[in-house]
Amino acid sequence: MLKPAFHYVSYIETTLEELWEALTNSAFTTRYWWDTSVISDWKVGSHVSLAINGLVRWHLQRMAGNFVEPQEPAANSEVSCEFDRLAHHRRTG
Partner 1 sequence: MNINQFKPAIVYTIYIASTPERVWEALTSAEFSRKYFFGNAVEVDLRVGGAYIVRTPDGALHISGEVIECDPLRKLTITFNVNWPELIEQLGPTLVSYEIEPAGDAVRLTMIESHDRPLDDDILSGGRQGWPAILSSLKSLLETGEALVIKMRPPDRMLAALKKMGIGTP
Closest listed residue to residue 84, CA positions, set 68, 69, 64, 70: 64
Binding mask 46-75 for partner 1 (x = CB under 8 A): -----------------------------x
What's phi and psi for 18, nearest 5 deg?
Answer: -65, -40
Contact between 5 and partner 1 per CB under 8 A? no
Candidate ranges 8-16, 20-28, 65-73, 80-88; the one touching partner 1 (CB under 8 A): 8-16
* Member of 12, 55, 86, 87 binding partner 1 (CB under 8 A): 12
E strands, the chain, in order: 36-39, 47-52, 55-61
